[in-house]
Chains A and B, each alone.
Chain A
Amino acid sequence: MANLFGKAANELPPKIVVGILIIGVLTVAGIAYYFTPKYTRVGYMPEQPIPFDHSLHVTGLGLDCRFCHSFVEKSGFSNIPTTQTCMSCHRMVKADSPKLAELRESWESGEPVRWARIYQLPDYVYFDHSAHVNRGVSCFTCHGEVNLMRTVYHKAPLSMSWCLDCHRNPEYFLRPQDKVFDLAWKPPAGLQQIEMGMHLIENENIKPSENCSACHR
């Protein structure tokens, strides 16, 4: 038998075990890192048919989020503005800009501008914008500093655990109701935020559900 297995073969079994362990650890680490919306969704920054600049319109001009997303307080769905909303100004302002060619085309033809959708939950998740913005969850909390974005990108992962982080501990994220649409507002630091959050939860009677049926129906 000595002809078949040399002395080096004695080390083979532990080497195989170590090798499998290393492969196992790497596979788990790879899945944990990549198989999550933090990788698959965050950072999605599609090219839009019109290079709309949120920072210019929100920070530069001081437009409120609701000038365009006008039903966010009343509807579960936060609407994309109609062509008419854009044309309120853009028939006069930058009326000949080549960047707005698609907008003018839409205005003439009546066909909607085909914006690329960035945030999209799975179809079995029923998220309600109005329920959140009317209870002190700011646009900023989920969409990030849109007021500073030249091109909007996917900021938060929208994973279920991410939703539950806030549903379990809303005091970390809630704002006073009049600051919900004020994206430049800075929340108080550390304990003060928690204290304010606790206060808001009590005053506004905020009870975020952790029941499956709150979002999955």
Chain B
Amino acid sequence: MRTFLLLLACLVFAIVSVTGFRGTKTTRNPIEIFPDMVRQAKVKEQAPSFFFPNQRASRYPVLGTVPTGEDAARLPYLNTGMMGDRWGDGIPIPLTAGTLKKGQEGFGIFCSACHGSTGSGNGIVTQYGLVGVPNYHSEHTRQMPDGQMFYVITHGQGLMLGYGANLSVEERWAIVAYIRALQLSQNATLGDIPISERQQLGGR
């Protein structure tokens, strides 16, 4: 019996020393104990696929196809920010408090890292070697047509790359609207504040 227990203890020790404990950080691949149907030969998001020649499961639309739904050609200003061959002005989506809220959220996520949360061009990345971030409150940006602003968000400008792939058309316009609100906030006078709200300023 003693020999048996000793052998068993050795066996347990051997197994534990090979397999280790739960939760240990490791680079070995996760083990799939019952692998039935766990990995199926189907197209998965952002995964490699040997079915397609370029080995990517993510596909571009076939050349020459047009997306269904909103017809981009019918609403050129909404989708490009251009009216004919000039920049358009005006926000082509309904302007509500909800739109501005959405714009604020999008601005916080995508723009504030470089442009700063007030749009002064002093975002955190400027401390890491990024130069040339414009100040939204400069005369040049204040005069920039809404359509051009939309175009810059979509395609980028100068050192900035476009965010058209990350943001929907509505989200981009909401951000344009929020930037306008930011500009207004930095250039407002006491007269712009409704009298009922003025006391919140605390007498300053």
Do the two chains bind?
yes
Q: Report A-chain residues with C-beta under 8 Å of the C-beta of B129.
A: 92-94
The stretch from A57-65, A164-172, A198-206 touching chain B is: A57-65
| A43 B124 Cβ-Cβ under 8 A | no
Q: Report A-chain residues with C-beta under 8 Å of the C-beta of B27.
A: 44-47
The stretch from B15-23, B91-99, B135-143, B191-199 touching chain A is: B15-23
| B166 A93 Cβ-Cβ under 8 A | no
Given A62-B113, A93-B129, A112-B56, A44:B39 Cβ within 8 A? no
A26 to B13, CA, bound (A): 12
A64 to B117, CA, bound (A): 13
State the A residues within 8 Å of B (CB): 15, 19, 22-23, 26, 30, 33-35, 37-47, 61-64, 66-67, 70-71, 77, 79-80, 82, 84-85, 87-89, 91-94, 112, 114, 117, 120, 122-124, 153-154
The verdict on B8 contacting chain A, using a C-beta distance below 8 Å, is yes
| B128 A93 Cβ-Cβ under 8 A | yes
B145 nearest CB across to chain A (Å): 24
Given A22-B8, A93-B130, A154:B30 Cβ within 8 A? yes
Q: Report A-chain residues with C-beta under 8 Å of the C-beta of B42.
A: 123
B residues 30-48 touching A (CB-CB < 8 Å): 30-33, 37-40, 42, 44-48
B60 nearest CB across to chain A (Å): 12
The verdict on B59 contacting chain A, using a C-beta distance below 8 Å, is no
- Dominant secondary structure at the A interface: loop
The verdict on B109 contacting chain A, using a C-beta distance below 8 Å, is yes
Interface size class of B (residues with CB under 8 A): 35 or more
State the B residues within 8 Å of A (CB): 1, 4-5, 8, 12, 15, 19, 22-33, 37-40, 42, 44-48, 56, 108-110, 113-114, 124-125, 128-131, 159-162, 165-167
B141 nearest CB across to chain A (Å): 19
A159 to B151, CA, bound (A): 45
Of chain B, the residue at the smallest CB distance from A46 is B27
A37 to B38, CA, bound (A): 13
A45 to B28, CA, bound (A): 8
B117 nearest CB across to chain A (Å): 9
The residue that A92 contacts in the complex, of B28, B32, B113, B130, with Cβ under 8 A, is B130
A70 to B30, CA, bound (A): 27
| A123 B108 Cβ-Cβ under 8 A | no
The residue that B29 contacts in the complex, of A15, A23, A44, A122, with Cβ under 8 A, is A44
A8 to B201, CA, bound (A): 96
Q: Report B-chain residues with C-beta under 8 Å of the C-beta of A123.
A: 37-40, 42, 44
- Most chain A CB within 10 A, of B32, B39, B109, is at B109
A177 to B56, CA, bound (A): 35
| A67 B109 Cβ-Cβ under 8 A | yes
| B8 A23 Cβ-Cβ under 8 A | yes
| A26 B40 Cβ-Cβ under 8 A | no
A34 to B110, CA, bound (A): 43
Given A23-B8, A46-B27, A62-B124, A67:B45 Cβ within 8 A? no
B149 nearest CB across to chain A (Å): 17
A154 to B26, CA, bound (A): 10
The residue that A77 contacts in the complex, of B24, B45, B48, with Cβ under 8 A, is B45
| A34 B19 Cβ-Cβ under 8 A | yes
| B1 A15 Cβ-Cβ under 8 A | yes
Of chain B, the residue at the smallest CB distance from A154 is B30
4 additional A-B residue pairs with CB within 8 Å, beyond A40-B30, A43-B23? A23-B8, A89-B128, A112-B46, A123-B37
Of chain B, the residue at the smallest CB distance from A123 is B40
Q: Report B-chain residues with C-beta under 8 Å of the C-beta of A23.
A: 8
| A19 B160 Cβ-Cβ under 8 A | no
Q: Report A-chain residues with C-beta under 8 Å of the C-beta of B12.
A: 26
The residue that A44 contacts in the complex, of B22, B30, B125, B159, with Cβ under 8 A, is B30
| A85 B130 Cβ-Cβ under 8 A | no
